[in-house]
Every structure is written in C-alpha cells, then in structure tokens.
C-alpha cells in the first residue's frame, strides 16, 4: 500500500545535548494520531495533556471550565498532516505535559511516496533518551541527570530509586521505539486496507 509519507524531525527544546528523533509518517495522519507517534518515538507515557501549536492555532483536546472553553483549542483529530503541508506549514510545536512543559520542534523535512514494503509510521534515527515523566521540566531534568550520572552525588541513590533503576541518557531505547511504531503501523493496516478495498477486516466468529 503506497501512500505519501512525511519525514519529520522532532527535537526537544531547552535540553543539551540535543534529544531528537526522525520518523516517517503518512501524510494522512491526524494530529491526534501524530501525538501517539511522538509519544512512542520519545518514549513518553501519554500520562498528561498535549497540544500542537501551528501558527496562531492550537490543536489538542478542548478543555472546558464551568462549561466554557478556557482557550480556543481545535480538535487534534480534525486536521491531517497533508492539510498542514498544503497550507505551506513545514514546522510546528508539540507541547506535552503543561506542568513540565516539554516543548518539541517538529520539522517537515520532506514528503515522498512511501516504500511498498514498509509499514508506516517508521523510525528513521535519533539520539539520546528522553527525560523521565514528572521530573520537573528542563531544570528538573538537569538536576536529575547530574545526580544519576555521578555516583558520588548526594542525590544519586534517591534519584535512581525514584526512577526505578539505572538511567543511561545516551541509550534512546531504539528497540522499543521501533517495536512501538510497528504496533501503531499494525493497528492502522487493517482499516487502511479496508478503506482501499472496500472489504471490512475479519472480526472473528463462526461463519456458516
């Protein structure tokens, strides 16, 4: 199933050395689905709210307070990558966890026809492990990193206990990223095949 794919580079802001990923995603991907792809690529746990900032528009899950929208937030599932690309958008912002405020630059590096023997989304390359959830944003991550990488640091044992084990900032966990994106590709393969052929995927059960 050949379809157009966009090559995206995702870079976490305010962290050095840079933490980044490059993935190929179908241009038919909605921003809601792209949220899932980015969560998997960065190894976030999807435990917090998110939004995309595209120009002066926000996309996410509209939040209500006393029955009124706090801000004008458009549904992330209402727009696809192709629509943004058609509007000339080649970069936008992805924000995850409004407390830690992890900001990711997403750059569209190019669009091409996908390979027939590759299921998308697909991991391309990247560098460094993403920070743990709830570490306190970039400043908290800097403190965490200093503690876990220095055995004599007074917070070393406590931080490792909090994290739940060793933390290697240079190991981005590529195997799990590839496995996670492959699982997303598997989930979208059935509906995509059904849409293109007009035949619904089998749901199990006996036939007579």
Domain extent listing, the chain: 4-129+173-197, 131-171
Q: What is the mean pLDDT of residues 118-138?
A: 97
Burial of 206 (0-12, 13-18, 19+ CB in 10 A): exposed
Phi/psi of residue 139, each to 5°? -65, -45
Q: What is the mean pLDDT of residues 157-165?
A: 97
Within 43-98, where are the H helices?
81-86
Least confident of 3-17, 37-51, 57-71: 57-71
Query: pLDDT > 70: what percent of the chain?
Result: 87
> Bigger pLDDT: 61 or 179?
179
Phi/psi of residue 147, each to 5°? -75, -45
Q: How confident is the model at residue 193 (pLDDT cuts 50, 70, 90)?
A: low
Specify the 3-state DSSP secondary structure of 174. helix
CATH superfamily of 4-129+173-197: MM3350-like (3.10.290.30)
**CA pair distance 163, 92, nearest whole angstrom:** 31
Given a cut of 50, is residue 207 above it in pLDDT? no
**CA pair distance 44, 94, nearest whole angstrom:** 13
Residue 2's pLDDT is what?
82
Query: pLDDT > 90: what percent of the chain?
Result: 83
**CA pair distance 111, 85, nearest whole angstrom:** 9
Residue 69's pLDDT is what?
55
Nearest to 13 by CA among 88, 102, 78: 102
Nearest to 114 by CA among 30, 14, 23: 23
Least confident of 60-69, 72-81, 198-207: 198-207
**CA pair distance 46, 142, nearest whole angstrom:** 22
Nearest to 97 by CA among 49, 36, 145: 49
Residue 189's pLDDT is what?
79
Dump pLDDT digits (tens) for 88-102: 999 999 999 999 999
Q: What is the mean pLDDT of residues 1-24?
A: 95
Residue 62's pLDDT is what?
83
Query: 150-154 long-range contacts, Cβ below 8 Å, gap at least 24?
Result: none
Least confident of 31-45, 83-97, 188-202: 188-202
Q: What is the mean pLDDT of residues 37-62?
A: 96
Assigned token pair, 94: 């992805």
- Predicted TM-score (pTM) of the model is 0.88
């Amino acid at each position: 199933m050949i379809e157009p794919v966009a090559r995206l580079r995702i870079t976490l802001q305010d962290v050095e050395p840079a933490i980044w990923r490059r993935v190929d995603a179908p241009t038919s991907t909605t921003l809601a689905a792209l949220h899932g792809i980015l969560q998997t690529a960065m190894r976030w746990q999807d435990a917090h709210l998110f939004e995309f900032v595209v120009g002066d528009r926000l996309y996410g899950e509209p939040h209500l307070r006393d029955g009124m929208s706090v801000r004008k937030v458009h549904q992330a599932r209402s727009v696809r990558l192709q629509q943004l690309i058609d509007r000339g958008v080649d970069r936008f912002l992805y924000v995850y966890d409004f407390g830690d405020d992890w900001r990711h630059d997403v750059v569209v590096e190019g669009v091409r026809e996908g390979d027939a023997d590759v299921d998308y989304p697909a991991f391309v390359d990247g560098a460094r492990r993403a920070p743990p959830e709830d570490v306190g944003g970039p400043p908290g991550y800097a403190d965490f990193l200093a503690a876990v990488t220095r055995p004599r640091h007074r917070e070393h044992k406590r931080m490792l206990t909090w994290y739940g084990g060793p933390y290697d900032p240079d190991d981005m966990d590529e195997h799990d990223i590839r496995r996670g994106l492959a699982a997303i590709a598997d989930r979208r393969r059935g509906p995509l095949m059904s849409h293109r052929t007009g035949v619904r995927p089998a749901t199990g059960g006996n036939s007579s």
